Structures are given as structure tokens and as C-alpha cells.
Amino acid sequence: MMGVRPNRKRLELMLMLLIGLAWGLLLSELMKRTRWQNPADRLKEESSPFPSSQRSRNLPTPPTTAPSTTNPPPDIQAARLFNETRVLCMVLTSPKTHHTRAIHIKRTWGRRCNKLIFMSTKADKELGSVALNVREGYSNLWPKTRAALQYVYKHHFQKYDWFLKADDDTYVIMENLRAFLHAHNFREPVYFGNKFRQHVKEGYMSGGAGYVMSKMALHRLVKLGFSNSSICTNRNYGYEDVELGRCLAGVGVVGGDSRDEHGLSRFIPFSPLHWYPQPPDWYQPLLYYTSPDNSSDCCSSTAISFHYNNAQEFYVLEYIIYKLRIFGINRELGPLPKKKASSRTTWNHFQTTNDETGHNALIKMVPGKNVTKPNYRTKTTSKFKK
Ligand SMILES: *[C@@H]1O[C@H](CO)[C@@H](O)[C@H](O)[C@H]1NC(C)=O
Ligand SMILES: *[C@@H]1O[C@H](CO)[C@@H](O)[C@H](O)[C@H]1NC(C)=O
Ligand SMILES: *[C@@H]1O[C@H](CO)[C@@H](O)[C@H](O)[C@H]1NC(C)=O
Ligand SMILES: *[C@@H]1O[C@H](CO)[C@@H](O)[C@H](O)[C@H]1NC(C)=O
């Protein structure tokens, strides 16, 4: 009996130590997950290709089977839009994150793209990734993006009207993207995303929230920009989004305004799962447009993209956005936004007599479209306007 007590004391002590340790681990993990990262610090993270890579490391394995949604979505209007506003999605990934992130894009929002391509430096059968001949790493994102866009231009330009770039921690609501783009003309040199004010006079679209280029924008970028190093730098380093912003401004591509009617952002460089109770401090000062101060809302109700998602959050968003219904509340949107009148005045200064980049260039360039497209477009457009 005498020997038992000290033993039990020791046991209790050990137990308390273990509990303490577990708490410590849990807290430090939580701290890691909620830490915000200033985009200005991003380049310092040489070893990780994307800034939030540490967040997805210790997660439980997400489900390997996708929840049941179809491609294109069952809704008739969304299906029509799928046919009419054709978006190629280009996701930048790296071998390290093929299976922790990219594959989960393929199983969630990526299925709603008209075409989904993963740009990496290694081929991967399951993912279907393209192996670009560039160096990996965050500081090499510019040459990688450049090579990726060149690849897309070379192999997939004809069949698509809009070209979306996303990272492998971006979540995109494709139906909202198409509805937004439907009002715009892909023959105009324009691109959309989350506009930041620094570095480029005209502003640039932050990389993480993704950006989408019109067919004309991509055409000019590759034909006029990539071939001329005084417009698009051929340095092998630099912020991908800033360099692209400079480059596009240099070839007369306008950074469009994608905010909604309340002035709220549609491309959001973080996730609504991380907005509350406050957005990260770095966010507001970087914005090109000041946010409406009467609104403490995170994001537009017709939001298009969210950033810094880990694999698990892809499935959470998928469930909340596509599956969850609320009894007695109808959240249907009205008809599609009206087509915007041509905003040629804003990019007129770049109009050249050069046929290859002028306003009618794409009509000549895309012979495959002469069959069905013109009729089809006007017919369906009038159907949408009630
Ligand atoms: C979309 O296009 C496909 C293939 O061309 C066609 O079978 C389908 O009926 C179209 N859907 C709508 C809603 O127009
Ligand atoms: C390259 O761009 C510069 C600046 O816009 C221009 O002056 C020059 O003519 C271009 N060079 C070629 C070969 O197009
Ligand atoms: C905030 O104010 C702007 C301009 O005054 C207005 O257009 C917008 O509808 C308001 N937003 C909300 C959410 O009330
Ligand atoms: C489009 O028209 C041109 C000239 O009329 C023709 O040569 C071409 O084959 C047509 N494209 C397709 C896909 O039929």
C-alpha cells in the first residue's frame, strides 16, 4: 500500500504534462492556421511555391469521391450559359501540391470549367497536368505563368472565349463567373480580377483571387507583349501578378471593374471562412477601389472567387454553395445582367491599323466560329432578356 501513492502521484504528474503538451500543440496549430500573410512578404518564402502551403499540411485526408453535382450543372440557364460563355480554367500547381490541393479542385469546382488544365513542372496522370519546362518555386511564378499562358494560347485558343488563371488554393464559382462575363465582350481587350493599387499605375489583379482574360486580351498579350521584352519583361523572377499587370497595360488591355452594384468585391483574395470577425489588416490599403464604408459585408452576394483555401475547405464551400438549401427562402437571382455597350473609347488609344491586333482581328483569327457562333449568340441573348 505504501508504495502505491508516490507512483500514482507520478502518474498524475505525467498525465498533466501530457494534457499540457496536447493543449500547446493544439493552440500553436490554431495560431498557424489563422495567421495572415502580407502579400508583400510573399517573395521571402522561397521554398514554398504558394504562400499558404503550410496551412494544408496536417489536415485529415478529404474524401476521395466527389459529392454529386453534374457537369454542366442541371439548371437550364446555367447549362445554356455553360455553352455560351466558354471558359478555360488554367490552374497553376506544383508537384508538391498535386495531391494535397490540385486534385481537390478537379473534384470540386474544376468540373464546371469548359476546360480544366493544371500547369505544373511534372506530368501527373491522375491530375492530367502539363509539365512546363520552367523552374519551380514562388519566385519563379512569373516565367511559369508566362509559359503556361503561351501553352494555352498555342493549344487551346480557338475553342474558348475567356481564360481564367487560378492558383491551386483558389475556389471559383463558375456560374457566377459566366454570368458576370456574359455581359462583356470577349473581343475587347479586357481582364478582370481583384484590383490592387500598388506597383502598376493602372492597377493590377492580385494573383491569388485569380483573374480572367478575354480572348482578345490573351491574343494581344502573347502576340504583342511576350514577343517584345520592352513591354513584357523576360526576367526570370518577379511577382507574377504585378508583371502580368504591367505587361497587359503595355499592350492596351484594360483592367476592368468587377465589383457588384453595391461596390463589393467579386474576386476575393482570401476566403469568407477567414474574414470574420475582421478582414486581414493588409487587405483594405491594397485595394484599388475603396470599399463602401456602409458595408461590413465580406463579399459580394454574386462572388466569383475565394483564395487561401485548403483542400478540406474546398469541400466545405462546395457543400454550402451548391447543396445547402434554406427552407422557405428563395435566393434565386434575377435574369442575367445586360450586355455592356462596347467601351471602345477606353481602349481606343491602342487601336492600330494592324489587322492582327485590331478590333476585327478575332473574327478573322477564329475561322472555326463562322459556322454557328454569330447566330447562336444573338438568339440566346434575346432569350435571356425577358
Ligand atoms: C449545350 O451544348 C450541347 C452540345 O453542343 C448540347 O447538346 C446541349 O443541348 C446544349 N445545352 C443547352 C442548354 O443549350
Ligand atoms: C516593342 O515595344 C516598344 C514599346 O512599346 C515599341 O516601341 C517597339 O516598336 C516594339 N518592338 C517591336 C519589335 O514590336
Ligand atoms: C452603400 O452605399 C452605396 C453608395 O452610397 C450604395 O450604392 C450601396 O447600395 C450601399 N450598400 C449597402 C449594402 O447598403
Ligand atoms: C469558316 O469559313 C471559312 C471560309 O468561308 C471556311 O474555309 C472554313 O472551313 C469555315 N470553318 C469551318 C469550321 O467550317
Q: Is 367 inside any structural domain?
A: no
Q: Is 49 inside any structural domain?
A: no
Rg (CA), the chain: 23
Per-residue model confidence (pLDDT) at position 370: 35
Domain that holds residue 265: 76-328
Q: What is the pLDDT of residues 323-340, one digit of tens each?
A: 998 888 877 777 788 888
Q: Are 237 and 139 spatial neighbours (Cβ–Cβ below 8 Å)? A: yes
Per-residue model confidence (pLDDT) at position 23: 72
Among 51-60, 154-163, 164-173, 262-271, the range scoring the smallest mean pLDDT is 51-60
Give me ligand 4 centre to Cα 367, in Å.
6
If one residue of 70, 82, 83, 383 were mutated to test the ligand 1 pocket, choosing by the most ligand atoms within 8 A of its CB, it would be: 83
Q: Is 338 inside any structural domain?
A: no
What the block records as the C-alpha cell of 70 is: 453534374
Taking CA atoms only, the protein residue closest to ligand 4 atom 12 is 368
Bridge partners (DSSP) listed for residue 172: 305
Q: Does any ligand 2 atom lie closer than 6 A to the CB of residue 316?
A: no
In eight-state DSSP terms, residue 323 is T
Nearest partner of 37 among 206, 281, 246, 271, judged by Cα: 281
Ligand nearest to the CA of 76: 1
How far, in Å, CA of 70 to CA of 175, rounded? 13
Give me ligand 3 centre to Cα 73, in Å.
32
Q: Are 48 and 97 spatial neighbours (Cβ–Cβ below 8 Å)? A: no
Give me ligand 1 centre to Cα 81, in Å.
10
Ligand nearest to the CA of 227: 2
Per-residue model confidence (pLDDT) at position 5: 57
Q: Is 242 inside any structural domain?
A: yes
Place of cell 477606353: 346
Cα 62 to chain centroid distance, Å, stands at 21
Residue 203 corresponds to which amino acid? Answer: G
Would the pLDDT of 386 be above 50?
no
Among 104-108, 118-122, 217-221, 284-288, the range scoring the smallest mean pLDDT is 284-288
Q: Is 372 inside any structural domain?
A: no
Taking CA atoms only, the protein residue closest to ligand 3 atom 10 is 262
Q: How many CA atoms lie within 13 A of 45 on its CB side?
A: 16
Q: For the chain, how many residues are written?
A: 386
Q: Is 131 inside any structural domain?
A: yes
Q: Does any ligand 3 atom lie closer than 6 A to the CB of residue 330?
A: no
Reduced to 3 states, what is the DSSP secondary structure of residue 371? coil
Q: Is 81 inside any structural domain?
A: yes
Taking CA atoms only, the protein residue closest to ligand 1 atom 14 is 80
Would the pLDDT of 289 be above 70?
yes
The angle subtended at Cα 302 by Cα 189 and Cα 347, nearest 5°, is 15
Q: Report the atom number in ligand 4 closest to the C-alpha of 368.
A: 13
**Alpha carbon distances (Å) from 76 to 73, 337, 380:** 8, 17, 12
Q: Report the atom number in ligand 3 closest to the C-alpha of 297.
A: 13
How far, in Å, CA of 202 to CA of 204, rounded? 7
Would the pLDDT of 183 be above 60?
yes
Order of all β-strands in the sheet with 129-131: 129-131, 115-120, 87-92, 162-167, 211-214, 190-193, 254-255
Among 89-103, 133-147, 358-372, the range scoring the smallest mean pLDDT is 358-372
Q: What is the pLDDT of residues 336-384, one digit of tens each?
A: 888 887 655 444 444 444 545 554 555 455 433 433 333 323 333 333 3
Per-residue model confidence (pLDDT) at position 281: 80
Determine phi and psi for 193, rounding to 5 degrees: 175, -155
Per-residue model confidence (pLDDT) at position 174: 97
Per-residue model confidence (pLDDT) at position 217: 95
Reduced to 3 states, what is the DSSP secondary structure of residue 255? strand
Taking CA atoms only, the protein residue closest to ligand 2 atom 10 is 228
Per-residue model confidence (pLDDT) at position 369: 42
The pLDDT confidence band at residue 189, using thresholds 50, 70 and 90, is very high
Single pTM value for the model: 0.72
Name the domain count of the chain. 1
**CATH of residue 232:** 3.90.550
For residues 211 and 382, the model is more confident at 211
Q: Is 228 inside any structural domain?
A: yes
Give me ligand 2 centre to Cα 224, in Å.
8
For residues 64 and 283, the model is more confident at 283
